[in-house]
A and B are shown apart, each in its own frame.
Chain A
Amino acid sequence: MKDDATAPADRSAGLKGLGCSRKRVEDVRFTQGRGNYVDDIKLKGMLSGDFVRSPYAHARVVSVDKDAALAVPGVLAVLTAQDLEPLGLHWMPTLAGDRQMVLADGKVLFQGQEVAFVVATDRYAAADGVAAVEVEYEELPVVTDPFRALDPDAPVLREDLEGKTEGAHGARRHHNHIFTWEAGDREATEAVLGEAEVVAEEMIHYHRTHPMPLETCGCVASMDKVTGKLTVWGTFQAPHAVRTVASLISGIAEHNIRIVSPDIGGGFGNKVGVYPGYVCSIVASIVTGRPVKWVESRMDNLMSTAFARDYWMKGRIAATKDGKITGLRCHVTADHGGFDACADPTKFPAGFMNICTGSYDIPVAYLEVDGVYTNKAPGGVAYRCSFRVTEAAYFIERMIEVLAIKLGMDAAELRRINFIRADQFPYQSALGWEYDSGDYHRAWDKALEAVGYDALRAEQAQRLEDFRAGKTRKLIGIGLTHFTEIVGAGPVKNCDILGLGMFDSCEIRIHPTGSAIARLGTISQGQGHATTFAQIIASEIGIPADDITLEEGDTDTAPYGLGTYGSRSTPVAGAATAMAARKIRAKAQMIAAYLLEVHDDDVEFDIDRFAVKGAPERFKTMKEIAFAAYNQAIPGIEPGLEAVSYYDPPNMTYPFGAYICVMEIDVDTGDHDIRSFYALDDCGTRINPMIIEGQVHGGATEGYAIAMGQEIAYDAMGNHKTATLMDFFVPTSWETPHYTTDFTVTPSPHHPIGAKGVGESPNVGSVPCFSNAVHDAFRPFGLVHSHMPHDQWRVWKIAHDLGLHG
């Protein structure tokens, strides 16, 4: 036994485990330009691919003439649907059970759709080839309005589905209808709405936007004709799922496919789906025998790969005169574009929209969602949110405000009297979820006090008086939000994507000298997994986080998992990490007991060691145990120290938060100024507070963009009007508000370390918060609801329509 005088607190701090604001280990390479992204990959003989895209939103493709393109120096091939057809690859399955054209098969359904794929020796030749391909189109009538799409005489968009009355999610009742999905009790809800003392009704549009990761989508496909092995480096948020799907589509055996996600420059849902670029690059590599790279331009990204939202949500909320909510009904018209390419769990074609009762104890509710085809790009992905959770949170948080207006109540108070109480958890919601834990009143009271809510309201009232007296042209809006998320998909019993169960995994190997490597089925796109997952292991088995390497994204080495989106990494893979670590700790305990010559039950874990119970001076450190595990013959215990865990979560986790925004609005220009933004998040156990803060800043900034200006807009002809960053709003540091972050901790009762996930909370919570602030500023003048985004002209129009311009 040796002498170890280090105090327990110091030993614990040295691990940099749970709760430590450990600096992000990834940033060393990212801040020095040493990241390795898909476009950094350069292989010998690599070719470049680029798409000919449709200028029309709806048209028949009469002919594609490749000759001029093939004459361009450097152009090797031009692929069309006809070339892919013999391989059965001119269409591909989407993650939503629909099918999507890889290359235009007779017609195009949205502007920017892929028509032909030009393969050339370099990027410039490919672009010249694209310009030289001659396509003859015959324009067809365009439908961009999802309500119009359901008119009996609306043009038929999906001729391939004509006559099909059954889709992947049940009956189709119109040629442009995709599915109807419902949850809750329709009759009971109607009954409550019919008898209610007060009913508020509103149409809430969550407009179409786009995740717009800084790095666009792309891949490098390399078919090695000698080994028969296909390797694809790509911007994949779910590399293992891509491998399985690629194998199923192509017929290439799964062990002959290697998918690698290198560093990814943001995903936010945009990189979950399978895109024509991947399929065409793979085919082109097989055809040419050379590696083929395809990387989207910014315009390609904004026009063709997955958009988000575009939900028209018609709400009716019932309450007593004193504000107790008695029922909620929501009907959604969901604009999915030309193909249904959402990336939701199979049984949830509208994602978890049925979390739309929010943080409130609403006894009965009914939700119905109709998915509709239009001449717009496909997608409908979860942009930094769990599946459709942002839509749900926006809907309920706007409906609460609309109800508050109808009741003449303060919206903070209305929320308070309707929150699910702490003693009601686990709480069964009217639309079918079991909320694991929460303490909404505590969070709400803390938030209101932190911002000085009453004083703010007094200041706002004074400002209003000054405005009416002509002393100022600026109003103050106070935006409130209390959101509840549902993340961590999910239990395999009800969550799968294309039949692939949504568990996740972690494998940990301890090296003989006591350092370690861990591999996960997830993939970081900037979230800092290499930092935080090492912290979980550090606390579980007492090896310093700095001594743990973390790897993800290579399907040849990482254990199988469903990837990173929907805030699922910490709830699912984080749980797997803790469970794998616990397996190692259990073996370490046996080894320690043997070394200390006591019974297994007579040693206990103590930060970074096992010590004899009651004799803490007799111990073996994890380093010593690791060395012995490999190098000492221990009867009955096989050598080595490693473990793998595949974790199927028993339930989702339910992070929540209270956000409050104070905004000044210039009624003459429609411009605004965010005076303050307070974000209280409860994500259960906090693994790394600094990373949480960073996630909140990033997500709230995206939310700010969405609420205040960011949109994917089309004109009536289906022309995409926001395909560059001149018109698609991405805030710079100048526009970005300052944030004050805060927290409460209500651990998840079913997660091994009590963590719930936080990456998406700020996007979910901030959008209604900013929007509510705008609405709140105009509430005294009679505004009930006005659609996002609240850019300058739309805010100006609110003021104008309310007669505030004299």
Chain B
Amino acid sequence: MIPAGFEYHRPADLAAAIGILQQHGDEARVVAGGHSLIPMMKLRMAELGHLVDLRDIGELRGIGIAGGTAEIGAMTTQHELIGHGGLASALPVLREAALQIADPQVRYLGTIGGNVANGDPGNDMPAVMQCLGARFRLCGPEGEREVAARDFYEAAFFTARAEEEILSRILIPLPPEGTGQAYVKQKRKIGDYATAAAAVIAGRDSASVAMTNLSDTPVWSAEAGAALAAGHVEGCVEAMLAAIDPQEDMRGPIPFKKHVAAVVLRRAIGAALARRA
């Protein structure tokens, strides 16, 4: 549990950070809260020559809600997100999901940007972002671009982000007034990744559904959302079960995971519908 040696950089702005990434190529990696990356380094599963700490970059901070969109700086910690009153009322599902991530100590440091950029299928926020139809703003040597959360995840730890790009902000369209939102997660204990988790938003005639840790990427299913929007809960569950592809691990074998996925999804749907105004 001792990492290999590395150079530590702490740039003050985005341009400098991108410059360091350009200079060192795949030898360099950005670190946000470090709560996914540093354990990998300690296991020597990630060995890098250069670590670029983003914590001094003001452009990556701040939460704003305006014009029907919530904008969250990548370096916002889970703890800050949980404590933000505006987000709690506009996007309660964010708070609900964040409260189910790890424990307070991890949440003081772990960031929303790191959580969505990491690409680990166990992370909770990617499914929430897909469910909400969020967009990720990426800054690189060629400037800025935006990628939809639903297009971002390619495989475990592979995303649409180029090596020299930094995720700067997350943009979330606010669901219409009265939309019910819920995130339900089954795990073995505090600090565990999901056995299965479901993010659901349900409006009067719209719905969106995504799930965590049941495939090598988060799973958003248009069919599942459409079925739910049409009021067919079991159709939604069926579509989701067709879309997921869980693997056996210490949490249990595949049939168990599929069963629990359906249970958790039904519970999330139930909660979202109950919260719908």
Contacts and interface: CB of A to CB of B under 8 A. Distances in A.
A735 B189 CA distance: 7
Contacts of A128: 4-5
B49 to A, nearest CB: 14
Interface of A: 50, 123-124, 126-128, 131, 297-299, 668-671, 709, 713, 721-722, 725-727, 729, 731-732, 734-735, 791-793, 796-797, 800, 805
Contacts of B255: 800
24 contacts: A50-B2, A124-B2, A124-B5, A127-B2, A127-B4, A128-B4, A128-B5, A297-B1, A668-B260, A669-B260, A669-B263, A669-B264, A670-B260, A713-B250, A727-B250, A732-B189, A734-B189, A735-B189, A791-B252, A792-B252, A796-B256, A796-B259, A796-B260, A800-B259
Contacts of B103: 732
Contacts of A793: 251-253, 256
A124 to B, nearest CB: 6
Looking at A670, A713, A722, A725, which has the most chain B CB atoms within 10 Å of its CB? A670
B185 to A, nearest CB: 11
Given A131-B4, A797-B256, A729 B188 contact: yes
B45 to A, nearest CB: 12
B190 A721 contact: no
Contacts of B1: 297-299
Given A131-B44, A668-B259, A670-B256, 6 more contacts: A127-B4, A669-B260, A669-B263, A729-B188, A732-B190, A796-B252
Contacts of A709: 188-189
B36 interface: no
B186 interface: yes
A298 B44 CA distance: 15
Contacts of B260: 668-670, 792, 796
Interface of B: 1-2, 4-5, 44, 103, 186, 188-193, 195, 250-253, 255-256, 259-260, 263-264
A515 B253 CA distance: 63
Contacts of B263: 668-669
Chain B, interface SS category: loop
Nearest to B4: A128
Contact of B192 (A124, A722, A726, A796): A726
B250 A123 contact: no
Contact of B2 (A123, A722, A725, A727): A123
A791 B260 CA distance: 14
Nearest to B192: A726
A609 to B, nearest CB: 53
A556 B251 CA distance: 49
Nearest to A713: B250
A792 B186 contact: yes
A131 B43 CA distance: 11
B2 A791 contact: no
Contacts of A732: 103, 189-191
Contacts of A671: 186
B44 to A, nearest CB: 7
A787 to B, nearest CB: 15
A713 B250 CA distance: 9
Nearest to A728: B250
A127 B264 CA distance: 43
A735 B252 contact: no
Contacts of B190: 732, 734-735
Closest 8 CB pairs of A and B: A793-B252, A127-B2, A297-B1, A727-B250, A793-B256, A734-B190, A732-B190, A668-B263
A282 to B, nearest CB: 23
B256 to A, nearest CB: 4
B186 A669 contact: yes
Contacts of B192: 726
Nearest to B263: A668
Nearest to A726: B192
A713 B249 CA distance: 11
Looking at B189, B193, B260, which has the most chain A CB atoms within 10 Å of its CB? B189
B249 to A, nearest CB: 8
B5 A792 contact: no
A50 to B, nearest CB: 8
A805 B260 CA distance: 11
Nearest to A298: B1
A520 to B, nearest CB: 35
Given A732-B189, A735-B189, A721 B250 contact: yes
Contacts of A735: 189-190
A792 B263 CA distance: 13
A74 to B, nearest CB: 11
A721 B249 CA distance: 9
A123 B2 CA distance: 8
A797 B253 CA distance: 10
Contacts of B253: 793
Contacts of A297: 1-2
Contacts of A797: 256
A582 to B, nearest CB: 49
A365 to B, nearest CB: 37
Contacts of B250: 713, 721-722, 727
Nearest to A128: B4
A128 B44 CA distance: 10
Nearest to A734: B190
Contacts of B193: 726
Contacts of A124: 2, 5
A792 B251 contact: yes
B232 to A, nearest CB: 19
B251 to A, nearest CB: 7
Looking at A297, A721, A725, A726, which has the most chain B CB atoms within 10 Å of its CB? A726
A792 B195 contact: yes
Contacts of A713: 250
B163 to A, nearest CB: 25
A791 B188 contact: yes
Contacts of A721: 250
Nearest to B191: A732
Contacts of B264: 669
Contacts of B5: 124, 128
Nearest to A805: B259
Nearest to A731: B189
A127 B42 CA distance: 10
Nearest to A299: B1
Contacts of A298: 1
A526 to B, nearest CB: 22
B16 to A, nearest CB: 28
Contacts of B256: 670, 792-793, 796-797, 800
Contacts of A669: 186, 260, 263-264
A792 B188 contact: yes
A729 B189 contact: yes
A725 B102 CA distance: 13
A297 to B, nearest CB: 4
A725 B190 CA distance: 11
Nearest to A721: B250
Nearest to A126: B2
